[in-house]
Amino acid sequence: MVLRTLLIAALFAVCQPAAASEIILPRLKPTSPVANPVLKPVLKPVLKPAPEADPPAAEADAAPPAKPKPVAIHFPGGNGGWPDDVVKAAQADCRSRLAGLDIDFEPMAPIGSEGGCGTPGAILIKAIDGVEIDPPAEANCELAEALHHWIAWSVKPVAKASLGKRLTVVHNASAYACRFRNNASSGKISEHAKANALDISTLGFSDDTSTNIKGDWSGLKRLIGTAGDSDFLARIRRDACIRFTTVLGPGSDPYHGDHFHIDLARRKNGYRICQ
């Protein structure tokens, strides 16, 4: 009887309304759809990496040296089809950009003409940080500078870290070429036509092995458990998005299934394409 009384008393206490001293949490406001990034539609296919993004670990380990004074580069005479002041400015820019960089190159006379193909400040890149560019690539100096940073501070150290191999050669599938995009017969002029792009098909190592973009990118290697090269290629492709404004390769479109295309195209509002 006593036990029954106690049980009834306990039940009565549980069923009582909340005491005045209990804390009542405020009702949460509904989340605004605009403030929810998941609900935001993706309006553009281009990506613009955040400028404050941290550099890759491999690059963070190799801090760039302070920029030295411009170097003396003796370009061959002549302006080609370019105004004198444009050539002088471009060649001065080369002297500043290339100072202190480990690039083996030959200065070139201006290529092409204003309003058409070419560039007023051109060099022939033969090697970067001891890595041969085969065949040598005709490039403007802004592209040469970006290539140096990518190869010396990413491709080379990542090859060492992830494959245990020393990078010795980057195979140039296409550099300067006066043509439209994707080798079309009309349309927009290619960045290759401005000596502002490079296509890379294969990377070679000191042990006489090589990594082929076409053969080593696919998921096949992952299936059979030898995905080392695939991971390496994915990593340097991702790093390239920091250095270049366009990075295309296998999976981007039907034109880039067998090589990486990298360029420094200038777009409105600084948009980049990293696909």
Contacts with Zn ion by CB under 5 A lie at 199, 261
Q: How far is the CB of 198 from Zn ion (least distance, A)?
A: 7
Which of residues 235 and 259 has its CB atom nearest to Zn ion in the complex?
259
Task: Compute CA distances 247 → 105, 184, 228, 259, 261, whole Å.
Answer: 24, 19, 21, 10, 6
* Residue least distant from Zn ion (Cβ): 261
Identity of residue 120: P
Which of residues 148 and 261 has its CB atom nearest to Zn ion in the complex?
261
Q: How far is the CB of 211 from Zn ion (least distance, A)?
A: 18
Which of residues 97 and 261 has its CB atom nearest to Zn ion in the complex?
261
CB 73 within 8 A of CB 109: no
CB 259 within 8 A of CB 173: yes
Which of residues 87 and 198 has its CB atom nearest to Zn ion in the complex?
198
Q: How far is the CB of 90 from Zn ion (least distance, A)?
A: 22
Q: How far is 122 from 120, CA to CA, in rounded Å?
A: 6
Which of residues 121 and 249 has its CB atom nearest to Zn ion in the complex?
249
Q: How far is the CB of 99 from Zn ion (least distance, A)?
A: 28
Token duo for residue 77: 């005479």
Q: How far is 189 from 115, CA to CA, in rounded Å?
A: 11
Q: How far is the CB of 136 from Zn ion (least distance, A)?
A: 17
First-to-last alpha carbon distance for the chain, in angstroms, is: 78
Which of residues 123 and 262 has its CB atom nearest to Zn ion in the complex?
262
44-47 long-range Cβ contacts below 8 angstroms, 24+ apart = 44/271, 45/273, 45/275, 46/267, 46/271, 46/272, 46/273, 47/241, 47/272, 47/273, 47/274, 47/275
Q: How far is the CB of 230 from Zn ion (least distance, A)?
A: 21
Crossing angle of the two packed helices 84-97 and 141-150, in degrees rounded to 10: 20
